[in-house]
Amino acid sequence: MIRIMTPDDYDAVHACWMACTGMGLNTIDDSREGTTRYLTRNPHTCFVSEQDGSITGAILAGHDGRRGYIYHTAVNPAYRHQGIGTALVNAALHALANEGIIKVALVVFSCNDAGNAFWERLGFTACGDLTYHNKALCAITRIDT
């Protein structure tokens, strides 16, 4: 079952993220407070998959009014290859389209072969003509998964 993610899902979603290698989590954005802030800003575009009362996957998706963005798409390794990731992406894309968004972007670490292959299977293309830049406005600690 795919449903809207709520702040009450945080512990189970975080456990799912931690079960997946290469997530690129950090202690600020991916904290309970950071995730709740994101869900409050994007109440209709983030989803979880649930099976027998357990969270098996999650996707954070939102937009700035112009472009949609997908973050932290994860399926617990014990539940992969069952269509859960695709169902989560489809739910997020549908929700973003309902909010008038026509283009969606995401970032995948270049060393995440499985992640890059997943997105390419779903029709997302790598943009070789772009360079991604970011700047931390405070100290951020990465969580190794």
**The domain spanning residue 32 has which CATH number?**
3.40.630.30
Q: What are the pLDDT digits (tens) for 40-81?
A: 999 999 999 999 999 999 999 999 999 999 999 999 999 999
CA gap 72, 15 in Å, rounded? 13
Which segments of 3-126 does DSSP mark as H helices, in order? Answer: 10-19, 32-41, 84-98, 113-121
For residue 112, what pLDDT is reported? 86
* Range of lowest pLDDT (49-58, 86-95, 108-117, 118-127): 108-117
For residue 138, what pLDDT is reported? 86
Instruction: Specify which residues 63 forms β-bridges with.
Output: 68
- Name the residue range of residue 94's domain: 2-143
Looking at the structure of the chain, the number of domains it has is: 1
Q: If you write DSSP's letter for every residue of 16-36 in order, what string do you get?
A: HHHHSTT--EETTTTSHHHHH
Are the CB atoms for 54 and 4 separated by under 8 Å? no
The pTM for the full model equals 0.92
Q: What mean pLDDT is predicted for residues 109-136?
A: 88
Task: Inform me whether the pLDDT recorded for 145 exceeds 80.
Answer: no
Instruction: Return all residues near 88 (Cβ < 8 A) that are at least 6 apart.
Output: 2, 47, 48, 49, 57, 58, 59, 73, 75
Core vs surface per residue 122-139: b (16+ CB within 10 A) or e? eebeeeeeeeeeeeeeee
